[in-house]
A and B are shown apart, each in its own frame.
Chain A
Amino acid sequence: MTRLLEAHGLSKRFGGVLALDSLDLSVAPNEIIGLIGPNGSGKTTFFNVITGIYGADAGRVTFDGVDVTNASSRAVYQAGMSRTFQRSRLSLPLSIFDNIMIGNHKRLNQGLWFNLVRRGKFKLEFEASYLAVRALVEAFEPALAGRIMEPVAGLPMIDRRRIEICRALISEPKLLLLDEPSAGMTHDETAELMNDILVVRERNKKLTIIIVEHEMGVIERITDRCVVLNFGRKIAEGRYREVAADAQVQEAYLGVA
């Protein structure tokens, strides 16, 4: 079976710290992978390396059959990979609509002439975008649908997370990377957001997701398979129940008894 994402011997060094240590990871289409491990084990670094924010020091990454090792963030996005960030990176003064449309960059007409002069055509694209954003937001939280022209700044954390996920989804990516979506939320909010993610998944069965998460309940509930990192290395892989029972994993999380 062809793999959607494949990383071979991926390494990233920050000074004396080996944040990723020849990591091998492969993801099949339609899978939901949980990427877990203690703080500082390299989960976010892995996201940053495959999305072109950091260059890799060694190794190779292929995505959808194309070599994207050390490709720019732009190229990776164009190829169909979208992400959210551990610490929310929305543009707070902008409206919900604007924030989500940033994620649709590759499908919008960016020509100067089109944007400044062909205002009639621009309006058609704008109206179509409005309907698309509204439909997407409605699927997550109907109460937000009437407020999408309002700034993000006044919204609670859970709604900001939802908008970040909408921003990643609007361009219909093949692979969605979720970096700790439950960070900073209450238990109930986390459960709510996970329901949202499962709904998205239900609507688009072809979507592949890698999720970094510390809430093990979340991981157990939504992932097909888990990969456990520790000090940049993969120490276990398999179904959640299997890895949770693994002695090495328990040691990584709890320390040696």
Chain B
Amino acid sequence: MAGEAEKTHAALWPGLIALAAATGYLIALLAAENQALIISLLTAGIAAVIAAAWLRLLNHASRSFEDHEDVLGGFAILAAFAVAVVFHEDHFVLLLVTTVLLYTVATLGLNIQFGYAGVLNFAGASFFGIGAYTSAVLNAHTALPHLIVLAIGGLLAALIGSLLLLPVLRTRGHYAAVVTIAFALLFKTFLEVNDVLGGPQGMQVPGMKILGWTFNDNVSIGKIALSFYMNYFMVSLLLLIGAFIVVRRLERSWIGLNLDALRLDETAASCFGLDIVRWKITAFLIGNFLIGIAGSLFGMVGSFVAPNNYTFADSLILVSILLLGGIGNPWGLIVATLIVVIVPEKLQTIQEYRFLLYALLVIGVLLFRPQGLLPRPVRRYFPGWRP
């Protein structure tokens, strides 16, 4: 009987091996400087993944992740620390990794909106920008504690996002997406003409301080000097862990079920009592809150905000991460963000053509693996739970 196979737990080790291999590979890729070496590493990586998929090794790994998510999540945090320890004094790499962490938080927010509730948001970068500008203004002009500034960044993104709710709720599918595109374009223009916010030149963002701990100072422990980005790395990692847990619990609850139900069939969902508007609003606001917090912290990390960093094109990058990673699968989003953020930075030769790379990646995924690199598995309310 088909039910019997499900009752045996998957082993932990395939997941562990996959995680260790990915971490080792990532460290090698980040350490490589020589373009020829980077290109051969990338080629080898792609070949290894395809080979593993052919040999069905990836299935073992993903089943292992499904059953032991909590343990493997803990190891994933260790893996992130391992990367940070290896590059503890390298500003550039730590900034890159921190960027990956914060973009992942933002795409987790988009994932709630699009992946679960089916509301396509093409203004992700705008809401990210709202968070960043919130940090710029509040850090420069007020003495508000910076953790509260982060929360305000999230709340403002949700609040300003609710301006969009009325048109988004009254339209469906492509039309709702067009409303968000219009917002993204308006937002950039608004920033450019607004002198209080620095106009097209943008503005400086004072760095983060928590209880006298100044993030923009380099840290040294004994004789070991750490890059100041290590501070931001830690806070970003904490934020990602928090966002990941929220998204996971949301999916694995009746609310996640509601969102799936209304995305897949609104009529059937309302025939079983779902309040479509309530759940779309809930998803949109929680999603925007996550995007806003991530943007707020990103503003402090980058110490500078300008309208050109939050354009429609940047929103498209966020959406392409979602498509690439596997809509609805938070693990897939981490992998996809790593690819989309790190590959163009390391491959200097394609810097100019990075949008072409994204376009090719998305087209390739849609053609050959429409559910993304790591497709979303069937919902399990509690990992490893058996009746």
Contact = CB atoms under 8 A, between A and B. Distances in A.
Contacts of B4: 146
A249 B94 CA distance: 79
Interface string A44-85: 000000011100000000000000000011100110001101
Interface in A99-115: 101-103, 105-106, 108-110, 112, 115
Nearest to A51: B271
A150 B1 CA distance: 13
Interface residues of A, number: 44
B182 interface: no
Contacts of B270: 52, 72-74
Contact of B379 (A53, A95, A116): A95
B260 A146 contact: no
Interface stretch (A86-94, A208-216, A235-243): A86-94
Contact of B264 (A91, A122, A123): A91
Contacts of B380: 149
A115 B250 contact: yes
A146 B2 contact: yes
Contacts of A109: 254
B274 A74 contact: yes
Given A126-B381, A149-B378, A116 B249 contact: yes
A221 interface: no
A73 B378 contact: no
A108 B275 CA distance: 14
Contacts of B272: 77, 82, 102-103, 105, 167, 171
Contact of B260 (A98, A119, A167): A98
Interface in A139-166: 143, 145-147, 149-151
B379 A105 contact: no
A115 B254 contact: yes
Given A108-B254, A122-B253, A78 B379 contact: no
Interface string B246-287: 100110011101101100110111111111000000100000
A201 interface: no
Given A146-B1, A149-B378, A89 B267 contact: yes
A112 B271 contact: no
Contacts of A167: 272
B312 to A, nearest CB: 30
A130 interface: yes
B246 to A, nearest CB: 7
A116 B246 contact: yes
B260 A91 contact: yes
Contact of A147 (B2, B250, B274, B379): B2
A174 interface: no
Interface residues of B, number: 33
Question: Which residue, of A93, A147, A151, has the highest number of chain B Cβ atoms within 10 A?
Answer: A93
B387 interface: yes
Question: Which residue, of B1, B253, B269, has the highest number of chain A Cβ atoms within 10 A?
Answer: B253
B6 A85 contact: no
A119 B381 CA distance: 10
B154 to A, nearest CB: 16
A74 B4 CA distance: 38
A134 B387 contact: yes
B3 interface: yes
Contact of B2 (A72, A91, A150): A150
Contacts of A146: 1-4
A1 B192 CA distance: 72
Given A74-B274, A126-B382, A149-B378, A89 B250 contact: no
A105 B274 contact: yes
A102 B246 contact: no
Contacts of A130: 387
Nearest to B276: A74
Given A94-B379, A150-B2, A101 B271 contact: no
B265 to A, nearest CB: 5
A116 B264 contact: no
A150 B379 CA distance: 9
Contact of B382 (A73, A116, A123): A123
B355 to A, nearest CB: 31
A163 to B, nearest CB: 12
A134 B258 CA distance: 20
Interface string B370-387: 000000001111100001
Contacts of A53: 267, 271
Contacts of A92: 264
Nearest to B286: A112
Nearest to B380: A149
B249 A119 contact: yes
Given A134-B387, A146-B2, A105 B250 contact: no
A53 B258 CA distance: 19
Contact of A150 (B260, B267, B378, B382): B378
Contacts of A112: 255, 282
A151 B375 CA distance: 14
Given A105-B273, A146-B2, A146-B3, 10 more contacts: A89-B268, A92-B264, A94-B260, A94-B264, A94-B378, A102-B268, A105-B254, A122-B253, A130-B387, A167-B272
9 contacts: A52-B270, A53-B271, A73-B267, A89-B265, A92-B264, A94-B261, A102-B269, A115-B253, A126-B382
Interface of B: 1-4, 6, 246, 249-250, 253-255, 257-258, 260-261, 264-265, 267-275, 282, 378-382, 387
